[in-house]
Amino acid sequence: MHGSGIGNGCAYALVLGVGHRGKLRADGGTLHAGPGIVGRDDGQHGSEAGRGGGRISGEPSKVVPRIVGMTCGAAQTSKLIHALGLRVKCLAGSSTGQSPGLINQQEPAEGAAIPDSRLVAGYVEPAAPDLVEVPDVLGARVADAMQKVAGAGLSALVHGGQKGAAQQVSDQKPRGGEKVKPGSRVELVLAVQYQVPALIGLDCKTADAVARKSRFPGVQCTEVIAQTDEKVGAVFEQKPAAQIVLAQPMVIAVAIHKAPPPTLVPAVVQHTVRSALALLSGAQLSAQISGASRAPLAVVIAQAPAAGTSVPEKSLVQLTTAIEVPDVIERAAVTGPAGDRLPVAERGRGNTCGGRAGSHTATL
């Protein structure tokens, strides 16, 4: 071999020094190496190669070439790969943001020594997945929001909120309607809210404790006189109503039934029904009439409870009536509250009526 040429013939030879600083590409790209990398066997340029001092060889360097950025087919059919006696095996790679279908990673790496297996693995960028739409969950309760996010094939990360309080989504990232990759994370920010507890049927003390446990400042109890068939001491109305969600806690106003004040049962025996009912009404009592007659001028002959008994207002007094006028000895006629005169019978006085001695009945 002489410095003026490289053998005979006109073939080009690719001369790669083991220690060159350039990069070797399997796709035939431009190589940048040290001096004297190319010689021509026509006697015209050999001296230049010789003067460069480079080592001249007819074989490529024994290192792994670069296949990153190539398609799998291009890497497998590369002339340089075949020249080096290598094989390329393509595998599914993870997403790196590169163009889908191109090799984004290789093993062994570019420039590494050729392995004994002569196998180079190329990991291919996967195709971009179909994007999914982020659901709009602003204002939704946290449980409902998480269910919607999961139903869209996404995961939820919850921030904020307060244990024991009703929680509602006040912000979300990404926003509803945005397109993201399946499995992406949606951040949910919760605002503390307060759900009014149910207090109907509780006494004032218990209602206050329940309200405070729900993070409300308590209750304000107002007593209302109960009717005869209403439960005394129990909440029958509340404001705000149960289950309402508030941004800020407040005192809950409740109304509670209380027992009517006591009253004395008036004496209504020997009064007419009309007179007795008027007396009982004035004492905030009601009556239930039984006996011979319910007519307004029928006479009350018995009552229960007895006159002078202390009972709650709205209590019921049982009245028994008779049509016959009872005997009342030596008693003047009585005028009731309604102006009813009760009958009076006088016996043994010797009075005569119509020329006959006997009983006398006062005119009503």
244 pLDDT higher than 60: yes
Residue 250 sits in the same domain as residue 278: no
**Residue where a domain stops, chosen among 143, 161, 194:** 194
**For the chain, what is the mean pLDDT?**
76
Could you tell me if residue 117 is inside a domain? yes
Residue 274 sits in the same domain as residue 355: yes
Is the pLDDT higher at 133 or at 9? 133
Is the pLDDT higher at 73 or at 130? 73
Could you tell me if residue 152 is inside a domain? yes
On whether the CB atoms of residues 146 and 140 are closer than 8 A, the answer is no
User: What's the rounded mean pLDDT across residues 118-143?
Assistant: 90
Confidence grade of residue 58 (pLDDT, cut at 50, 70, 90): low
Residue 190 sits in the same domain as residue 254: no
Q: What is the number of domains present in the chain? A: 4
Range of the domain at 267: 262-361
Could you tell me if residue 14 is inside a domain? no
Collapsing DSSP to helix, strand or coil, 297 comes out as coil
**Residue where a domain stops, chosen among 217, 243, 258:** 258
**Residue where a domain stops, chosen among 173, 194, 215:** 194
Is the pLDDT higher at 125 or at 17? 125
Could you tell me if residue 90 is inside a domain? yes
* The pLDDT value given to residue 27: 57
235 pLDDT higher than 90: yes
Each residue's pLDDT tens digit, 176-218: 999 998 899 999 998 777 889 999 999 999 999 999 999 899 9
Residue 187 sits in the same domain as residue 278: no
Q: What CATH code is carried by the domain that includes residue 163?
A: 3.30.10.20
35 pLDDT higher than 70: no
Each residue's pLDDT tens digit, 60-93: 568 999 999 999 999 999 999 999 999 999 999 8
Each residue's pLDDT tens digit, 258-269: 887 889 999 999
Q: What CATH code is carried by the domain that includes residue 248?
A: 3.30.10
On whether the CB atoms of residues 313 and 260 are closer than 8 A, the answer is yes
231's tokens: 């439960």
- Any residues with CB less than 8 A from the CB of 342 and at least 6 apart, and which? 270, 271, 272, 275, 299, 328, 333, 334, 336, 362, 364
Residue 102 sits in the same domain as residue 167: no
Residue 242 sits in the same domain as residue 331: no
Residue 324 sits in the same domain as residue 344: yes
